[in-house]
Structure 1
């Protein structure tokens, strides 16, 4: 809203009729009348001046704190506003002009064009002079503080908006839940333990996990069971030395425990004995199950990569079943390989699987603001892990590669045959250039 400067004549000491308020040429708005104990200060010369100081001790300070001429000093008396006036008649003064809406709109447009509220914002020129109002400065800085100026064109999408009426989606708590998962994922994370296992190595572990993927598919188990099985197995191997002959038994015992935790109808002990080609007897598996639970102190509530995969796939809008299958394919390749399981935390492995899948399917953009917000990972943080996953994908079709569990699973039509897609050339070229 524009404000106009007006010329205000002081009271007539002789009691004559009050002079009319005459607007300055080109300005037609009346100024506000004096409020409280502020009175107009006489200017020292013919030029108009802006009042910048309050009254102190009965004296009005103008022009940077200098007292006005005592011959022209105005003294306030009483609440009624009775004013004693000297012989000199106060000269007109100019009321401060408040910045107009047009000026603020121009400043707002300039801020959005410049991309930074702290940069110099050009204001309107008045009377041949340029300047910047306090309003425009505060407006620009407020935009920077609120993140409006630097906000990307790719807005963050509320991925829970469609589930607001779904009680099972627990929209009110889902953000807090995943913040808790991120805080506690280190508790269930497994670090390098192969140095403590003299009888087994990473290659043996990979063969075991590849076999467990096939068993999981044969039993038609829930996805959660597979990820929890691998986590239980790794945590147990990090605590106890296992002979090579019992490594498969450890995998079977881990899956039995995970199924009892996750499945409604868990496979029976005899089912595991049969699928292992009767390599063990019933009592062996029950003893191993008890040993695993004792070592882990019955702590089975662990945020596995699957917990984060579900959320990150949902954030990878729009929904695409092909992308979903590709993400799970990369995640299971990560489970098979010891290095990715040890080097990267579950949330980063899940986010890298999403990134590798988007690169393989040539999604644009490769990483959105919504994914960055939900995963709390930037694109450059995921490059290394994603390159490892894509390198595993490129090795799946090799004849010398005996680990065919995940590859066969995701080569079937019911999984979209995503394993047959060519590996992401962009990440493979980055790997070649870096090496």
Structure 2
């Protein structure tokens, strides 16, 4: 899946063809993402309710099936993806569940957001009374579940593999139309698990889909099912393996899923930054930069979630030429001065500058779409930031 630690074998689709037809009859609607490559990430055109923009497909008969062989990558040819697409079309044709979910998902919110709102209503209190204390608590506890350098403990995994995995998961997240909370929690679970457990290269993709399954159960109203993740990974792992890995992750992390991720701080800092008329463009730019930060191992290790969020807001303001780039209001709510953010901000600026040419395109393609304001097409801040 992502770390090229994955063998996504087309022959597995042939063996499971009968099973897929049965699943189609049950009304499933998830679509198979094909292979993940550190050269290109491709997927067939979205079907049904899923209209995610994906990288352009490779030429006919040149869809690579990537295998990890002694740390290297070998590209082969396969037509099995066509069978996967056909199976998906059958599923969509009989999917009554899809139409029911589609209407509900449009206005869906994550459980964390809903429970917060209901708690306020039940107590007859406004959240404003507690916001400062809540975020002070988040700042105090963010280091408790933050990971530090762990690649030295992983003999078969490296930062590039992690980036490939995250790139693929961002694409899966977008295709499943999941909440942003789910994505940030997924990456948090992956990093925390890898920091305490040695994982073979062939199981890195399994860790990814199991972490997203857990995060979905925690945050989503309409969580994907286990079989959806089995299908999206081209049957690289069976349902039983996913469930076993899910249990292993929970055990190693002590069932601790309530953590302050970067997203928790982004929500607060965006509001502190933007006037109501600016919200949509500013939000999209900040989320674009933050997701670029999620992709990079060094950024995740070096900077805590609150600093990553504050730096994303700062670089977004520079990119959109919102002056002053850092205000007293933002300094108060984030707890960071402009100088304290500069190193992290320059790193995010570097990611933005390189995004168009990067071989990992999930974030860039996602934020090139009009749905996200096409903010990825905007020029990096240039002199606004590099002169600092």
Per the alignment, residue 327 of structure 1 pairs with 286
Equivalent-residue separation in structure 1 for 2:315 and 2:285 (angstroms): 9
1:57 maps to none
Query: Following the alignment from structure 1 to structure 2, what is the Cα–Cα distance between the partners of residues 345 and 406?
Result: 21
- In the TM superposition, what is the alpha-carbon distance from 1:317 to its structure 2 partner? 2.9
RMSD after superposition: 1.7
> Which of residues 221, 242, 253 in structure 1 aligns to 2:199?
242
Instruction: For 1:33-72, list aligned pairs within 5 A.
Output: none
Superposed CA deviations along residues 125-162 of structure 1, whole A, max 9, x for unmatched, are xxxxxxxxxxxxxxxxxxxxxxxxxxxxxxxxxxxxxx
In 2, distance between residues paired with 1:387 and 1:257? Answer: 33
Match of residue 214 from structure 1: 171
Q: Distance in 2 between matches of 1:168 and 1:389?
A: 38
Larger Rg: 1
Give me the whole-angstrom Cα distance separating, in 2, the residues matched to 1:418 and 1:252. 28
Counterpart of 2:325 (choices 359, 366, 377) is 366
Q: Deviations over 1:164-195 (max 9, x none)?
A: 9x968511111111110010000011101000
- TM-score, normalisation: structure 2: 0.67
| Structure 1 Cα separation of the partners of residues 306 and 386 of structure 2 | 25
State the Cα distance separating 1:208 from its structure 2 match.
0.3
Rounded to whole Å, the distance in 1 between the matches of 2:308 and 2:386 is 21
Q: Is the 8 A contact 2:346 2:386 kept in 1?
A: no
Match of 1:101 in 2: none
Cα pair 2:227 2:239 within 8 Å, conserved: yes
1:380 and 2:339 matched: yes
Specify which of 144, 156, 161 is matched with residue 204 of structure 1: 161
- From 195, 212, 220, the equivalent of 1:255 is 212
What residue is the counterpart of 1:343 in the other structure?
302
Cα distance between partner residues in 1 of 2:298 and 2:383: 22
What are the Cα deviations for residues 256-313 of structure 1, in whole angstroms up to 9, with x where unaligned? 1111111112100000001001111101100000000000010111000000000000
Contiguous gaps of at least 5 residues in structure 2: 1-119
- DSSP 3-state at the match of 1:220: coil
Aligned to 1:391: 350
Shift of 1:429: 3.1
Matches within 5 A, 1:153-302: 170-302=127-259
* Equivalent pair of 2:367/2:375 in contact (CA under 8 Å): yes
Q: Map 1:301-312; keep pairs closer than 5 Å.
A: 301-312=258-269
Equivalent in the alignment of 1:352: 311
CA distance in 2, matches of 1:428, 1:178: 28
> Which residues of 2 match residues 413-424 of structure 1 at below 5 A?
413-424=370-381
Q: Report the structure, 1 or 2, having the larger helix content.
A: 2
Given that 1:200 and 1:243 are in contact with CA atoms closer than 8 Å, whether structure 2 keeps it comes out as yes
Q: How many residues align?
A: 266
- Residues 192, 265 of structure 1: alpha-carbon distance in 2 compared, 3 angstrom cutoff: same
SS in structure 2 at match of 1:186: helix
Q: Which runs of 5+ in 1 are unaligned?
A: 1-162
Higher RCO (Cα < 8 Å, 6 or more apart): 2
Identify the residue that residue 123 of structure 1 maps to in structure 2: none
- Say which SS state the counterpart of residue 173 (structure 1) adopts: helix
